[in-house]
Structure 1
Amino acid sequence: MNRSAEMRSTLASTPASALGDLGQPADITQPLLEVRGLSHRYRLPRGVFGRRRPMEIQALDAVSLTLWRGDALCVVGESGSGKSTLARLIMGLLTPEAGEVHYAGTRIDHLEDRQRQRYRRRMQMIFQDPYASLNPRLRIAQALEEPIRVHFPESSRQQVRERVEALLSDVGLDRGWGERYPHELSGGQRQRVAIARALSVSPELIVADEPLSALDLSVQAQVLNLLVDTQLARRLTYLFISHDLAVIEYLATHVAVLYRGTLCEVGPAAQIFAAPRHPYTRALLAARPRFDDAGAQHIAASTDTSADLSITGGCVYRQHCPLATPRCAREPPRLASLGDGHAVACHTVDADAVRMDTEAHPRP
């Protein structure tokens, strides 16, 4: 059995809630999180990638996203596509070179540390590596107590202790585990503790940066089901970053596809998986492991990101795109709406949409 099929089989055997129960937005007109034209570059010293001169890499280029309460927006892309950079910019761990981040209608990307403090409680992050995200010198209970004391200083010692015990129970750990150190836990147990720590301050938004990639497959399914059940129980909103399409298909209410820092396609998960429009999205989905893999290897090769990083201008995917035209080298495509929240950045798809609209509504 291939990995994707095994993941689906494992998930199906666990008591996870169906996708239909997720992502029911609250009766409000304002998104919880809004990213507008976010851009960021990394400046690399001489010698990196064999370069004789310093170079810059456009990690994120004018990315705009909207996340509504109760949704699970999954950002997918290969390594180096800008997913983790996006997460860190949203959380304030990096400062954007351009663009804005708005939370519940308030711009937060330019706030100083003291001003941002109240938003840190409402926004929490789960990191990729469970072996690096916990302080090895603190017992598990101490690691969970710390954020509670910072954000709820009025809490008594007894209230903090009860809160920690409840958190451990919520993530499926006995309260006795609170006296252990991180090195005494497995990877899955550590990631459960990381989830408990993120939940300790009762956030509204969880930003999860590849939280399953360092775990074994069976443990991935357990942690993923924990995330789904926790969202339903606490009415959380997720920005979930992953390169695993099986995980995304199970969890996402909406999907955003990144390639070399550029947003290629965004829309409801059901539409993205059923009828992808961008050539890169199609290549990603076609490259998923199947029992019948005829032709998939050739398509998967077209998603290679080892192209010259110095190439600028035009569409970043044009070197691999089977639909590329001379226009793609001259003009970067803009994200164009296809209706129902589905948008694609592709000249060919945009032209097809205009043609279909003209045929459906001919001019007099």
Structure 2
Amino acid sequence: MSHSPAAFPAARLRRTRQSPSVRNLVREHTLTVDDLIWPVFVRDGEGVEEPIASMPGVMRQSVDKIVEAAREAADLGIPAICLFPYTDPALKSEDCAEAWNPDNLSNRATRAIRSAVPDMTIMTDVALDPYSSSGHDGFVQDGKILNDETIEALVKQALSQAEAGSDIIGPSDMMDGRIGAIRTGLENTGHSDVMIMSYAAKYASAFYGPFRDAVGASGALKGDKSTYQMDPGNTREALRLVARDLDEGADMVMVKPGMPYLDICKQVKDKFGAPTFAYQVSGEYAMIMGAAQNGWIDGDKAMMESLLGFKRAGCDGILTYFAPAVARRLAKP
């Protein structure tokens, strides 16, 4: 900042903190319901709501219940919902063919939401880990993740999701070159309006554990994902990845996880100015919920403060499991 405040007592910075109404007037960043994307987990069955032990308050839900969740989101003003499938282990395979099955869980849920809640924006995940017997985001050969062969499968998966009615394709796999390939595939099949939100800077993080429980990938995973997800110590690499994905046709970019990487969010927004999102991942959610349930923190205040931090860092929106709770709190007079 070029301006320096006057010396005390002419400048008393506490003057603008003296009441809620004044604090509201001068607040620099505000969280609104329009900033929220709600990630949900879909599973087979009917009338199923299955609690996820490592994510208190979050459930795997059958398609009919996911439709109810989408209606709830719409009623709360939440603009977008993001689908993650819990795939029957019997359908997982080395070739991951279930990923592009037109009638897989993700595609069935997409069509059901599109029919019941037509104005809801639907985001879908592109990666092979929910469908792979290895638990990895790509094909594995002799312990190595195959990049180019995986991209071919990811394009088929993305096109099946676009055909089902997905509005936003979210490639979370971190293979090199997949954004350009998916964008070309979408353009060539008449899906030019389908958006891509690239998981451009996705770190090899310890904060993903509860999510892997939620999609049933924890037990299947052999090894780790450090050869394709980012090293937590790197900053400049994240900027290179964002630049590449924007050049290849990404409409929006994401930083994942969120709170440990707010510095990356800020640098991405400042440097590129593109729509920038963060994912407040399962481990972040579980920490806040766990501490709140033990009475160690005020859960509601911590929830709101954590999400405001994303806005302060420059994010245009946040994927968060807190979305319904936040929307309800924001709606209070």
Whether the TM-score (by the shorter chain) exceeds 0.5 is no
Structure showing the higher helix proportion among its residues: 2
If the length of structure 2 is used for normalisation, what is the TM-score?
0.31
If the length of structure 1 is used for normalisation, what is the TM-score?
0.29
Larger Rg: 1
